[in-house]
């Protein structure tokens, strides 16, 4: 049975949903064992660097138990990234951030224990349902902004903000931010935070232009990524139309994004809505909002009355509202 059809998937973690990408979930040598007091019940997913298990604990109940893959345990870079994720996750305490319960090493196996979250990846939800109703866009964006702002206040830039790193429970409209694996501390030296042109971390469709052009990556880069997500939630499309990574790289650096009201002919928002989103997508970090919360607040204010007034011929306003009739 597909994960999405199981009632248990309502209590699933990022990698649990991702298990579909890697084929059938199979048992392995760690299933049934106990590490650091956690009994590993089954393997729910595997990514490029880590394997995630559903585990139980006498005090914490059901949790997600993440271990670095065996082939990477001697790789200093992989171990450092895994450790960094654990450290940054511990530093950010917020209701919209996946809670880090424990980190450590047992029998030579680095591990990270995090809460078992409700819902599914926002990426999967968006593929089925975008564009979202304006009030749902506001609910999602404001929660993500609040979580990301908490990270910024803790001196952390996420650097990989995207729907695939957010869990979403549609019933409660609650989001949980995931994966600080490539986050960076804002109190490191400029050389440590510098990304050379042509070399970047993150996901190309959501990465800020300055991350590609060799500039210092600041909290403004996360705002750009969030604005890209908002664009997707409002239109079901992305602000750049390139079909290849090379073309996407070029467009991000040298071309303006497609204006919000040109993304889909059938979708027309008031100028105020378009202006907020496009400001968040400004090429220069200094041209964006002061912080992610300011962006989210401006967007939610504009979305209170998002559509143009109906024309004399009628139908424009009702047609727009009909697009979000679920």
pLDDT digits (tens, 9 = 90+) for 7-33: 444 444 544 444 433 334 445 889 999
- Confidence (pLDDT) at 249: 87
User: Residue 244 to residues 196, 198, 205, 254: CA-CA distances in angstroms?
Assistant: 21, 15, 11, 15
Of 109, 100, 99, which is closest to residue 40 (Cα–Cα)? Answer: 109
Beta-strand ranges (E) seen in the chain are 34-35, 38-46, 50-57, 61-68, 100-106, 109-115, 120-121, 156-157, 166-169, 174-177, 184-185
Domain end among 82, 115, 148: 115
The CATH number of the domain holding residue 40 is: 3.30.200.20
Range of the domain at 169: 120-322
Tell me: do 166 and 208 sit in the same domain: yes
**What SS3 class is residue 97?**
strand
- Confidence (pLDDT) at 199: 44
Lowest-confidence pick of 78-87, 93-102, 290-299: 78-87
Tell me: do 56 and 133 sit in the same domain: no
Structure-derived torsion over alpha carbons of residues 240, 241, 243, 249, reported in degrees to the nearest 10: -30
Q: How many C-beta atoms lie closer than 10 Å to residue 73's C-beta?
A: 15
> What is the Cα–Cα distance from 213 to 252, expressed in whole angstroms?
10
pTM above 0.85, yes or no: no
Tell me: do 145 and 257 sit in the same domain: yes
Tell me: do 159 and 260 sit in the same domain: yes
Of 32, 112, 109, 115, which is closest to residue 73 (Cα–Cα)? Answer: 109
Residues annotated as part of the active site:
160
Tell me: do 208 and 300 sit in the same domain: yes
The rounded radius of gyration (Å) of the Cα atoms in the chain is: 21
Tell me: do 108 and 184 sit in the same domain: no
Domain end among 87, 115, 143: 115
- Confidence (pLDDT) at 131: 97
Domain end among 57, 91, 115: 115
């Amino acid at each position: 049975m597909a994960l999405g059809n199981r009632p248990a998937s309502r209590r699933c973690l990022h990698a649990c949903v991702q298990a579909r990408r890697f084929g059938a979930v199979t048992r392995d040598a760690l299933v049934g064992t106990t590490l650091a007091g956690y009994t590993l019940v089954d393997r729910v997913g595997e990514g490029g660097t880590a394997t995630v298990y559903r585990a139980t604990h006498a005090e914490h109940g059901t949790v997600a138990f993440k271990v670095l893959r065996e082939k990477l345990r001697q790789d200093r870079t992989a171990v450092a990234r895994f450790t960094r994720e654990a450290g940054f996750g511990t530093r950010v305490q917020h209701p919209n951030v996946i809670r880090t319960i424990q980190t450590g090493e047992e029998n030579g196996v680095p591990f990270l224990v995090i809460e078992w979250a409700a819902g599914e990846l926002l990426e999967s939800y968006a593929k089925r349902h975008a564009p979202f109703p304006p009030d749902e866009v506001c609910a999602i964006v404001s929660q993500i902004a609040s979580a990301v702002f908490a990270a910024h206040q803790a001196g952390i830039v996420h650097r990989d903000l995207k729907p695939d790193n957010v869990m979403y429970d549609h019933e409660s409209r609650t989001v949980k931010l995931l994966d600080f694996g490539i986050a960076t501390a804002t109190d490191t030296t400029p050389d440590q935070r510098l990304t050379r042109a042509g070399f970047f971390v993150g996901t190309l469709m959501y990465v800020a232009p300055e991350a590609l052009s060799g500039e210092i990556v600041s909290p403004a880069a996360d705002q750009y990524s969030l604005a890209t997500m908002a664009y997707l939630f409002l239109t079901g499309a992305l602000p750049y139309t390139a079909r290849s990574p090379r073309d996407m790289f070029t467009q991000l650096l040298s071309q303006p994004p497609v204006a919000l009201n040109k993304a889909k002919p059938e979708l027309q928002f008031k100028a105020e809505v378009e202006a907020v989103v496009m400001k968040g997508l400004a090429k220069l970090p200094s041209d964006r909002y002061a912080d992610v919360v300011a962006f989210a607040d401006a967007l939610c204010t504009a979305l209170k009355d998002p559509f143009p007034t109906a024309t004399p011929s009628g139908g424009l306003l009702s047609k727009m509202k009909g697009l979000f009739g679920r």
